[in-house]
């Protein structure tokens, strides 16, 4: 899901209603737009520092506060990047320099692997909100069906030590491309405050520990000659659980 699709989908929800500090008991609903910014850099996942979100909220005003559930979407864009082939796992060396006569050959000059990551999916937030004099305290849990998606394309080859004078004939060559999805149910705690700004509008500030699973496709170079592009038996997905702190700003209105 691209960012413009997320914003269009968020605008299609009806905007979330008034944050009145003293309301009659009963049901309420509305829509919320979110912007979150990551507090701790994490280069390993190659994601942007921010995420966007939108959701539809349904809740009930009790005498002791508000209980609500919010069904929404979340999109965290990523970066395109080139893998450092010196760190690539290999069955046979691909980055060793060989000398043919007076010529030095480095097979990395003939190899490349590029990837792009992003995170998106559906969320369900359950929250309790306690009205104070001029603001409300709130806390809850976000249940996410978040998908970490990675696109990859690679062309990795070796170079023969005893090749003809130009030294460019490969002993083996791996070409591969594809998309890998990693994810599942995740639970992210959050807490913050909500402040009314207009008769039916409010602004939220939340601290969110965003929980997701990152997946990285690892190609083991030169493992399975002749079996087909990207079909090495030793390729695998490396998964890592994340719990990343974010500060989130949300705007909405209730009706």
Listing DSSP states for 166-177 in one string gives T----S-EEEEE
Mean pLDDT value across residues 202-212: 97
- Enclosing domain of residue 238: 3-254
Shortest CA distance to 121 belongs to which of 59, 186, 209, 196? Answer: 186
Shortest CA distance to 14 belongs to which of 29, 28, 27, 30? Answer: 30
**Neighbouring residues of 102: CB distance < 8 A, sequence distance ≥ 6:** none
pLDDT at 119 over 50: yes
pLDDT at 170 over 90: no
Per the DSSP assignment, residues forming a β-bridge with 243 are 211
Question: Percentage of the chain surpassing pLDDT 90?
Answer: 56
Report the C-alpha gap between 127 and 142 in whole angstroms.
Answer: 9
Report the C-alpha gap between 235 and 39 in whole angstroms.
Answer: 33
Least confident of 31-35, 107-111, 189-193: 107-111
Shortest CA distance to 208 belongs to which of 242, 244, 251? Answer: 244
Confidence of residue 195 (pLDDT cuts 50, 70, 90): very high
What are the structure tokens assigned to 212, written together? 């997701």
Q: Are 252 and 57 in contact (CB under 8 A)?
A: yes
Mean pLDDT value across residues 137-148: 96
Question: Percentage of the chain surpassing pLDDT 70?
Answer: 73
Q: Give how many domains the chain has, as a whole number.
A: 1
Its pTM stands at 0.78
Q: Are 123 and 53 in contact (CB under 8 A)?
A: yes
Mean pLDDT value across residues 65-82: 95
The pLDDT tens digits of the residues spanning 20-57 come to 344 568 899 999 999 999 999 999 999 999 999 999 99
Q: Which CATH number do you get for residue 27?
A: 2.40.160.20
Which pLDDT belongs to residue 169? 55
Pairing mode, if any, of strands 103-105 and 98-100?
antiparallel
Indicate the SS3 state at residue 225.
coil
**Neighbouring residues of 230: CB distance < 8 A, sequence distance ≥ 6:** 154, 174, 175, 176, 177, 178, 219
């Amino acid at each position: 899901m691209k960012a413009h699709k997320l914003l269009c989908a968020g605008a299609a929800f009806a905007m979330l209603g008034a944050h009145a500090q003293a309301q009659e008991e009963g049901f309420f609903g509305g829509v919320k737009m979110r912007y979150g910014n990551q507090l701790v850099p994490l280069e390993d996942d190659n994601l942007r520092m921010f995420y966007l979100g939108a959701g539809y909220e349904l809740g009930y005003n009790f005498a002791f506060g508000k209980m609500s559930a919010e069904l929404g979407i979340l999109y965290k864009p990523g970066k395109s990047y080139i893998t450092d082939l010196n760190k690539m796992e290999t069955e046979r060396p691909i980055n060793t320099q060989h000398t043919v006569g007076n010529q030095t050959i480095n097979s990395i000059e003939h190899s490349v692997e590029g990837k792009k990551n992003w995170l998106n999916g559906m969320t369900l937030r359950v929250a309790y909100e306690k009205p104070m004099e001029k603001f409300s305290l709130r806390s809850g849990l976000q249940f996410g069906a978040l998908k970490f998606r990675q696109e990859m394309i690679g062309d990795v080859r070796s170079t023969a030590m005893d090749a003809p004078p130009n030294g460019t004939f490969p002993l083996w060559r791996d070409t591969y491309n594809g998309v890998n999805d990693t994810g599942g149910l995740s639970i992210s705690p959050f807490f913050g405050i909500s402040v009314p700004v207009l008769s039916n509008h409010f602004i939220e500030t939340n601290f969110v520990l965003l929980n997701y699973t990152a997946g990285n496709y690892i190609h083991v170079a030169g493992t399975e000659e002749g079996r087909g592009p990207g079909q090495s038996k030793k390729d695998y997905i490396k998964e890592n659980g994340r719990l990343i702190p974010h500060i989130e700003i949300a705007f909405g209105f209730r009706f």
